[in-house]
Structure 1
Amino acid sequence: MICETRIICIGNGYIASDSAGSAVYQELQQMQLPPEIQLIDGGLAGLNLLPLLENIKRIIFVDNVSGYDEEGAVIVLDEQEVRTAFGNEQYGHDAGLPYVLNVAPRVCEGPPPDIIKLVGIEGTHNEDSIRAAAVLSLKLARGE
């Protein structure tokens, strides 16, 4: 079966306030993922993520967020919400993912993904928020 969806977990696993993506990646590795879903540890890849946006129907990013909800909350942002977070302290990662999404149409080949979502964990994460983000990411990746 061809890969239709990528779950890309981003962030710095060595810094607690930026390690949600790494923790969710580890949680998802323990789950049975269908073959049409590719799990990627995006780490601190930045613009190196651009090729991963090509030739794919759906992309689910997982990362820390700041200023959207209460500590430990799991939220979902759509592509436009992430794009407009550029320069916005709510996203909290300088250019990061908003910059990647804004540059992608100029440099990526082929049609853009139909769906781009960000599953974000507000602030410091815990076991429950990591599990919830992993389950939610998988549901979104399946199109549920």
Structure 2
Amino acid sequence: MSENEKKILILGVGNILYTDEGFGVRVAEELDRKYEFSPNVELLDGGTLGLRLMGPIMECDHLIIVDIVLNEGQPGDVFRLLGENLSKACAFTNSMHQTDLLDTLARCSLIGNVPDDVILYGIEPVNYKDMSSALSPELEEKLPGVMDMVLKEVEEAGGTYALRSVANPSMEKVYVPRDSSRNS
């Protein structure tokens, strides 16, 4: 990575045990499975780590977060949120990690080291309360579109990516599989 390249962090957050709550993590998993990124791009499953994400966040110049949001939209609506809208979306209390994420960004700011660009791709959930490793069918259908939005963001920030092949396979990782049950 050259000094002029922005360090880009794609951060998927959420709890994969609560249906759509795991959407951000599932996006990160699929991006990792399908694409290889340039050295200036890091992909991170942030799960529900909250304040433990301060290090990776403070080390990047461009932060792309993927998560669910309660933004008064319809289930499946996707929002690109910045600044004050990001703070409002992250302030809801119906999640196990959102207030931690807002706290984490605030603490990074207090230390004086917050990324130049912070973008949240948030999707309105269908179901985030039932315990299941499967996404709702509506959000499962939205995965490719949100992945495309994130990839476009990566390109605009100066990162590159290529489809994985036999020559550049994904590193061996063990993901919690999505089950085949149909959530409503």
Class of the TM-score when normalised by the shorter of the 2 chains: 0.7 to 0.9
- Provide the residue aligned with 1:132 in structure 2: 145
CA RMSD of aligned residues (A): 2.2
Is the Cα contact below 8 Å between 1:59 and 1:141 reproduced in 2?
no
Secondary structure of the residue that 1:137 maps to in structure 2?
helix
Deviation at 1:38, TM superposition (A): 0.7
- Provide the residue aligned with 2:125 in structure 1: 123
Deviation at 1:87, TM superposition (A): 4.0
Of 113, 116, 140 in structure 2, the residue corresponding to residue 114 of structure 1 is: 116
Is the Cα contact below 8 Å between 1:76 and 1:118 reproduced in 2?
yes
- Provide the residue aligned with 2:26 in structure 1: 23
Structure (1 or 2) with the larger CA radius of gyration: 2
- Provide the residue aligned with 1:44 in structure 2: 48
**Alignment partners' CA distance in 2, 1:15 and 1:95:** 17
Equivalences for residues 1-144 of structure 1 within 5 A: 1=1, 4-29=7-32, 30-85=34-89, 87-88=91-92, 92-93=94-95, 95-107=99-111, 111-124=113-126, 125-143=138-156
Structure 2 length as normaliser, TM-score? 0.67
Aligned residues: 140
For structure 1, which runs of at least 5 residues remain unmatched after alignment?
none
Is the Cα contact below 8 Å between 2:8 and 2:62 reproduced in 1?
yes
Deviation at 1:57, TM superposition (A): 1.2
For structure 2, which runs of at least 5 residues remain unmatched after alignment?
127-137, 158-184
Deviation at 1:11, TM superposition (A): 0.4
**Alignment partners' CA distance in 1, 2:115 and 2:155:** 14
| Counterparts in 2 of 1:63 and 1:142: CA distance versus 1, 3 Å | same
Fraction of identical pairs, as percent: 25
Is the Cα contact below 8 Å between 1:5 and 1:37 reproduced in 2?
yes
Structure 1 length as normaliser, TM-score? 0.84
Deviation at 1:122, TM superposition (A): 0.9
- Provide the residue aligned with 2:169 in structure 1: none
